[in-house]
């Protein structure tokens, strides 16, 4: 598996893990998504009254405030819609693919409450693709993205960064609307995870068209794919682009987070976030999220390098969010840290590694005896020199697993066995 660490262009990028308070765990729904649910991406668009607004008040609405998650009434018929059907081997034409999937694709408009210091002060605010400069801005920024309907009773999956802004400090959107055909709905946030860049919304809809999901593990290099989304906002809603699978198992670092992605040359632009990447059978096999930024290479032009998260990697995540409101089983050490680079090492005569800035009380790290000032150099014998490398090694494990940390304290190399905690992102 190749390792890449490019400058990925993300609109409404997300840097932290935050979710609404977890809903009371319900009896786990038998969401056996054979070829699993969707993935997510990092390419949503912003607009401040530029694109078409949602003109009418929704007929059916669910508030986006923190309320108890509705009891799921997913029927056996609906569950079957989430399963990848046994393909008869018949490939669909482009027109047939679009006709099949388009009714499941939605537009998402997120209104964010601007931080007061940005609203009233001279701080520079980059509002989802719009530079307001140093001028005082009163209007709250509005971002647009795409989503996919996954159940006929109104569950929708999109990217976390479509509804949560960490770049400008706005946090969770104050109001989220879903545009589906001629209908507009208020959306409730069931849960989201910015590490995985996945969010689940719920609208009060009945008889909606749920997308069919395919097995992303069955994808082949060069296989034809189609993307549907809302690039640059709703003026270009339901834009269809096509291309092929350019790469598989791309290990891409986005916002210091490593993600395993599908690479495609189907055009993906701002506003496509949360939209489907579709295979030749009309099945969703990924959620479009990110694209390579030409700014990384100065004046060099970069075209046709987009990414989507494979459907098979996120089925458990979506199931967790739908049932618990957050992603279960995520490992946590309980430390804040920063890298000791070669330069810092030479300047301060410190070993290269990951410096522990703070240890959380009652955390896995504290229980294992780690202290502020320790410098972690390896995890299970694998050298780590940055916090990203440490996180990547930690994320190879699940909550409850035991790992061995090698660290330097007062010039002496030491080891500690750490039993990883479960990260409840709703508490971060």
Q: Considering the candidates 197, 319, 320, 374, report the single residue annotated as catalytic.
A: 197
Between CA 209 and CA 418 the distance in angstroms is 46
**Beta pairing, strands 164-165 & 130-131:** unpaired
Q: Which of 161, 193, 258, 289 is catalytic?
A: 161
Report how far residue 381's alpha carbon sits from residue 239's, in angstroms, rounded to the nearest whole number.
48
Q: Say whether 161 is catalytic.
A: yes
Q: What are the backbone dihedrals phi and psi of residue 10, each rounded to the nearest 5 degrees, phi first?
A: -130, 125
Question: 3-state class of 15 per DSSP?
Answer: coil
Q: Is 270 assigned a catalytic role?
A: no
Rounded to whole angstroms, the Cα distance separating 350 from 321 reads 42
Q: Select which of 47, 104, 270, 273 is catalytic.
A: 273
Q: How far apart are CA 153 and CA 20, in angstroms?
A: 21
- Name the CA radius of gyration of the chain, rounded: 22
Distance CA 80, CA 89 (A): 19
* Other Cβ atoms within 10 Å of 370 Cβ, number: 23
Could you give the CA distance from residue 304 to residue 297 in angstroms, rounded to a whole number?
15
Exposure on the CB side of residue 236, measured as CA atoms within 13 A:
17
Look up 374 and say whether it is catalytic. no
Listed in sequence order, the residues at least 6 apart from 406 whose beta carbon sits closer than 8 Å to its beta carbon are: 376, 377, 378, 379, 381, 413, 414, 415
CB 229 within 8 A of CB 237: no
- Tell me the C-alpha distance between 304 and 167, whole Å: 25
Cβ atoms of 285 and 262 closer than 8 Å = yes
Question: Dihedral of CA 412/348/382/421: which sign?
Answer: positive
Q: What residues act catalytically? A: 161, 197, 273
């Amino acid at each position: 598996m190749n390792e890449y660490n490019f400058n990925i262009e993300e609109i409404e990028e997300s840097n932290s893990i935050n979710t609404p308070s977890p809903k009371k765990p319900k009896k786990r729904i038998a969401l056996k998504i054979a070829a699993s649910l969707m993935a997510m991406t990092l390419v949503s668009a912003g607009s401040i009254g530029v694109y078409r607004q949602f003109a009418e008040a929704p007929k059916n609405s669910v508030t986006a405030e923190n309320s108890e998650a509705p009891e799921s009434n997913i029927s056996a018929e609906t569950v079957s819609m989430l399963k990848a059907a046994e393909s008869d081997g018949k490939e669909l034409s482009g027109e047939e693919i679009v006709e099949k999937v388009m009714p499941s694709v939605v537009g998402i408009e997120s209104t964010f409450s601007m931080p007061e210091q940005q609203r009233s002060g001279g701080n520079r605010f980059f509002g989802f693709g719009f530079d307001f400069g140093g001028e005082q801005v009163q209007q709250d920024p509005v971002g647009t993205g795409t989503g996919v309907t996954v159940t006929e009773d109104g569950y929708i999956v999109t990217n976390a960064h479509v509804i949560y802004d960490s770049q400008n400090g706005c946090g969770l959107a104050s109001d989220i609307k879903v545009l589906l055909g001629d209908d507009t709905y208020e959306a409730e946030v069931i849960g989201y995870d910015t590490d995985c860049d996945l969010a689940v919304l719920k609208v009060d809809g009945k008889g909606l068209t749920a997308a069919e999901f395919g097995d992303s593990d069955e994808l082949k290099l060069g296989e034809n794919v189609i993307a549907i989304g809302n690039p640059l906002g709703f003026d270009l809603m339901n834009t269809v682009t096509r291309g092929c699978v350019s790469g598989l198992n791309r290990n891409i670092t986005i916002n210091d987070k490593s993600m395993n992605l599908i690479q495609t040359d189907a055009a993906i632009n701002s506003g496509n976030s949360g939209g489907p990447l579709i295979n030749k059978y009309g099945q969703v096999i990924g959620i479009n999220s990110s694209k390579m930024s030409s700014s990384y290479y100065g004046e060099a032009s970069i075209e046709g390098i987009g990414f989507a998260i494979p459907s098979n990697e996120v089925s458990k995540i979506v199931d967790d969010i739908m049932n618990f409101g957050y992603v279960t089983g995520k490992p946590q050490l309980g430390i804040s840290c920063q890298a000791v680079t070669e330069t810092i090492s030479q300047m301060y005569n410190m070993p290269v590694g990951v410096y522990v800035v703070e240890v959380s009380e009652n955390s896995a790290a504290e229980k294992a005896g780690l202290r502020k000032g320790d410098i972690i150099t390896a995890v299970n014998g694998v050298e780590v020199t940055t916090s990203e490398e440490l996180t990547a090694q930690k994320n190879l494990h699940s909550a409850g697993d035991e790992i061995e940390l090698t660290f330097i304290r007062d010039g002496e190399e030491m080891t500690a066995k750490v039993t990883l905690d479960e990260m409840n992102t709703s508490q971060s």
